[in-house]
Each structure stands twice: as C-alpha cells, then as structure tokens.
C-alpha cells in the first residue's frame, strides 16, 4: 500500500507540474482533491485497511492531500506570473487586430450636417444654457402672462425664475444683450416640455434655432434660407409655409417638407416668421431701422425623413440592432 501511494503521488505531482493553463490545473484539482476525486476515495476506503495499519494509512493519505494541494497552489502562482509577463510584452512582428468600424449616432451626424449647412450660409453657431431664465425663455419673447405655455404643467421649473428651456429661441435675448446688428446666429441644443410622448413628439428633444437681424430683411429672405437648408439637408423635397401664430414673430408660419417616400404626407419641421417688433425693442434694437427673421426646427425629425424612420423614440433607446444600421 505505501508503494502504491508513493507512485500515485509521483504521477500526480508530475501531471500538476506539466499543467500549462489554469483550466488544466483546475481539472487536475477536481480529479485528485474533489468530492469524487482520488484522495476522497482513498479516505473512504480506510475501513478496508487492517485495523493496525489504519493510523499510518490515514496519516499517509493526509500527507498526500497536503502535498498535492501545495503543488497545485504553487503551479497556479507560476502560471499566473507567466501570463502576466507574457501580456506585458508586445510582439511587434505580429499583425495587428483590426478595430471594428464605427459610425456617428444618427442625431450626432444630423447635428454636424446642420452646422455645416448654416455656417455655409453665413451663420455663427453659439452655445446657450439648458437651464434658462424666465425673462429670456418667455418674457423677452413677447409671451403674454396668460399664454398656455406659461402654465407650470407645460414647463419644468427649477425656481420661480429658472426653468429647463422650452425652446432654443431663448438665445435671442442673450445675444441682443451683448451685440448690435447686423447678425446671423444659430444655436443647437436640448429643449424640455411637458408633452405626451408619441412617434413624433417627446418631452426632451433637440432643436436648432436661427435668427438674422439686418436692414431690409423680409419674409422672402426667410423662405429662401429655409428652402436652401431643406435642399441641402434632404435633397429633392417640397417645402410648404402655412400661416401660424407664435408670440415672438409676426407674421408667423409653420415650415413643413414632403419627400418622395412620404407620398402625400407633410411633416412639420418647426415654426418660423419675422421677429416681432416688441422682441427687437426689448433687445434694444430699433424695429424702424432693423428687421429680422427667426425659426426653430426639430432635429429628430430630420433623420426620420432622411432614413425613413417612423418613430423618433428609437433614437434614445440605445438598441444596437437599430444603431448599427447607420
């Protein structure tokens, strides 16, 4: 029996030393030291050993168990050290791994395209804060105190004087504080409104807002700018202007486009019009000398048109199956 245990220990130690990975070592540990392993089987067979030999047999099996446990731990340390050393070395002769090709998010791509178009049309892109002052978001834009948008349920107020901006048009008052005409300004950012979310509306959405102030600006300049933008953004589309009301423009219009894939369907991109004289006066600009136009367009609807997407909520769900198509 001692000779058999000596041979078993020799074979086990040899197999452990030859193990070249943690997985192989794990399997050897199960084979020798697991609940159904060789050592456990030997301990269970102790009742078959003559009574006078049992103490010596038990001690030898326990010694074997300790020897194999130490050998496995020692070999595990050696393998880990070798793997760390190998991972720290770079073989520059080996071919590199190709990185997967990625693309911008469709909204990011659209924003970059918008900037290129309006910069090309002579507009300066400026930043504006998402947490806006009441005076710029409403009061400075000619909103009457009883306007529906003044209802707290339509806006997200932080304090009595601060709220999450409901429109990027709020940038007008900030610019009028520090600049004098002529000017062509563009701003892009998130807006927040208490909205019922559906395929074409969201409580949080992206908007581009542009305005121009100069001498003798007319509605024709506004229409020409938006038609040029639509052609550069979408290609072959029809544009439509319909009379609409917004407190900060007079006259006002909604701007819509129709494209081949839509059939007879028009999709409104946003509102537009000539800047109201009251807004110019509050900004310290004489409406008798200067005129201007302004418009705000929803950005999510633009890739919907370009790519034939029927639901703007897809842009915010981070579903890789959707995003990888772009």
CB 210 within 8 A of CB 186: yes
The per-residue pLDDT string of the chain (326 residues; one tens digit each, 9 = 90 and over) reads 555 778 888 888 888 888 888 888 888 888 888 887 888 888 788 878 888 888 888 888 888 888 888 888 888 888 877 655 545 566 677 777 777 777 889 999 999 999 999 999 999 999 999 999 999 999 999 988 777 766 655 889 999 899 999 999 999 999 999 999 999 999 999 999 888 888 778 889 999 999 999 999 999 999 999 999 999 998 888 999 999 999 999 999 999 998 776 667 788 899 999 999 999 999 999 999 999 999 999 999 898 888 888 888 899 988 888 888 88
CB 229 within 8 A of CB 117: yes
- DSSP H or E run through 267: strand 267-275
Q: Please give the Cα distance from 255 to 270 (Å, whole number).
A: 6
Structure tokens at 65: 């168990």
Angle 187-188-191 (CA atoms, 0-180°, nearest 5)? Answer: 115
Over residues 159-197, the pLDDT tens digits come to 989 999 999 999 999 999 999 999 999 999 999 988 888
CB 270 within 8 A of CB 164: no
- DSSP H or E run through 227: helix 219-234
Q: Please give the Cα distance from 168 to 289 (Å, whole number).
A: 26
Residue 183 φ then ψ, to 5°:
-155, 150
Closest C-alpha among 216, 299, 219 to residue 253: 219
Pairing of strands 183-192, 124-126: parallel
């Amino acid at each position: 029996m001692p000779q058999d245990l000596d041979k078993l220990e020799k074979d086990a130690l040899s197999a452990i030393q030859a193990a070249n990975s943690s997985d192989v070592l794990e399997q050897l540990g199960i084979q020798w030291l697991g609940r159904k392993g060789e050592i456990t089987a030997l301990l269970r067979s102790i009742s078959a050993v003559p009574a006078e030999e049992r103490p010596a047999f038990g001690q030898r099996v326990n010694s074997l168990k300790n020897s194999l446990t130490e050998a496995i731990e020692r070999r595990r340390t050696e393998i880990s050290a070798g793997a760390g050393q190998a991972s720290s070395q770079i073989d520059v002769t080996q071919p590199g791994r190709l990185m997967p090709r990625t693309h911008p998010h469709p909204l990011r791509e659209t924003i970059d395209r918008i900037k290129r178009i309006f910069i090309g049309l002579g507009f300066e892109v400026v930043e504006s804060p998402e947490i806006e002052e009441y005076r710029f978001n409403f009061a400075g834009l000619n909103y009457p105190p009883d306007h529906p948008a003044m209802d707290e349920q339509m806006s997200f107020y932080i304090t009595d004087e601060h709220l999450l901006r409901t429109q990027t048009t709020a940038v007008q008052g900030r610019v009028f504080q520090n600049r004098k005409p002529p000017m062509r300004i563009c701003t892009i950012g998130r807006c927040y409104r208490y909205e019922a979310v559906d395929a074409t509306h969201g409580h949080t959405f992206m908007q581009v807002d542009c305005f121009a102030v100069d001498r003798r600006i007319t509605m024709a300049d506004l229409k020409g700018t938006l038609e040029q933008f639509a052609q550069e953004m979408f290609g072959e589309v029809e544009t439509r202007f319909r009379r609409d009301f917004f407190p900060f423009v007079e006259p006002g219009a909604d701007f819509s486009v129709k494209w081949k894939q839509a059939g007879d369907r028009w999709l409104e991109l946003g509102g537009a019009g000539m800047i109201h004289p009251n807004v110019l006066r509050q900004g310290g600009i004489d409406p008798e000398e200067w005129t201007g136009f302004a418009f705000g367009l929803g950005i999510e609807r633009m890739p919907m048109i370009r790519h034939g997407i029927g639901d703007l909520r897809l842009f915010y769900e981070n579903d890789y199956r959707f995003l990888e198509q772009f």
